[in-house]
Amino acid sequence: MPGDALSQDPAELRRRIDTTKAHPARVYDVFLGGKDNYPVDRNAAAAALAANPRGYLDVRHNRDFLRRAVTTLTREDGIRQYLDIGTGLPTQENVHQIAQRIDPTSRVVYVDNDPVVLAHARALLTSGAEGVTDYVDADLKQPAQILRDAAKTLDFDQPVALVLVAILHFIEDDEAYPIVRDLVKALPSGSRVVLSHLTEDLNAENVRAVQRTYTERGFTFVLRSRAEVERFFTENGLEPDEPGVVPVHHWRPDGAAPAPEVADPGYLATLDDIEKVRYRDINDVTDADINVYGATAVKR
């Protein structure tokens, strides 16, 4: 069930792509070993990695938190509908792949505003025959549009999991809290929120260095404390699931983080530091490496 956004003219999509300015979704793609990015995005990722050489662990463990959260909500809590805002570019273990592997009838709507993501939406929309996967071209700052378009695919009379993973730190306080309020208000009882967020609580020097590299490139980049992250839940009547708001690598670890690709040492020697990230093992993580909080919560 492809969304209306997919019918946009390819030339119009190309016109919308700004290759002179880094985009968060494409920088994230660089750290995940993707190829759908531009030199400006790779330069931003390389600068962040130079500022914090083990910063790739934040990105990769954030992604693994998403895997565990969706698995838990689908398998243990019976969630069959997901609204994933700030989707990013297609990679392995997208929300619909995880959920539909457990229950093939799961329905997933992805939301992003990057035209590069939109151009690749057909890859995201490869759903099983029994399930539905759709895509909405919208900005997080447009909650009314998101909810209206998502309702074409999702049944808001039944529980929905709202996924806000590594997206809210790109929004200032005066917009972030009202946006989450409006989105949560539309969710029925029994719905869930999956949320992760960068913080300076844990390893301030490292993450502030990364923050500087992004703000120099024009990104809004808001580091929030644990209390400020918890506010997204407490102000909206959400009850965090155990273990609450914790560093992402401590959220119900299952020992199943993906193993790195194996590469010939001679080949690795030819790569620059950012290209080597995809071959790094994330299972050697320590508390000194992580600057991301994660949590899930239920709406009663």
CA angle 193, 88, 173 (to 5 degrees): 55
What confidence category does residue 249 fall into, taking pLDDT thresholds of 50, 70 and 90?
Answer: very high
**Rounded average pLDDT over 208-212:** 94
Q: Which of 259-263, 281-285, 288-292 has the lowest mean pLDDT?
A: 259-263
Q: State residue 85 phi and psi, 5-degree precision.
A: -105, 130
Residue of higher predicted confidence among 128 and 172 = 172
**CB neighbours of residue 26 within 10 Å:** 24
pLDDT, residue 12, reads: 73
pLDDT, residue 2, reads: 45
pLDDT digit string, tens, across residues 78-89: 999 999 999 887
What confidence category does residue 118 fall into, taking pLDDT thresholds of 50, 70 and 90?
Answer: confident
pLDDT digit string, tens, across residues 253-274: 999 998 888 899 999 999 999 9
Tell me the three-class secondary structure of the chain, residue by residue. CCCHHHHCCHHHHHHHCCCCCCCHHHHHHHHCCCCCCCHHHHHHHHHHHHHCCCCHHHHHHHHHHHHHHHHHHHHCCCCCEEEEECCCCCCCCCHHHHHHHHCCCCEEEEEECCHHHHHCHHHHCCCCCCCEEEEEECCCCCHHHHHHHHCCCCCCCCCCEEEEECCHHHCCHHHHHHHHHHHHHCCCCCCEEEEEEECCCCCHHHHHHHHHHHHCCCCCCCCCCHHHHHHHHHCCCEEECCCCCEEHHHCCCCCCCCCCCCCCHHHHCCCCHHHHHHHCCHHHCCHHHCCEEEEEEEEC
Read off the pTM: 0.93
Task: With a cut of 70, say whether residue 124 has pLDDT above it.
Answer: no
Task: With a cut of 60, say whether residue 5 has pLDDT above it.
Answer: no
What confidence category does residue 8 fall into, taking pLDDT thresholds of 50, 70 and 90?
Answer: low
**Chain Cα centroid distance, residue 51:** 22
Which range of 59-63, 92-96, 120-124 scores highest in mean pLDDT? It is 59-63
For residues 251 and 69, the answer to whether their CB atoms sit within 8 Å is yes
**Rounded average pLDDT over 98-121:** 90
User: What percentage of residues in the chain have a pLDDT greater than 90?
Assistant: 76
**Rounded average pLDDT over 51-74:** 96
Q: Tokens 């839940």 sit at which residue?
A: 233
Mean pLDDT of the chain: 92
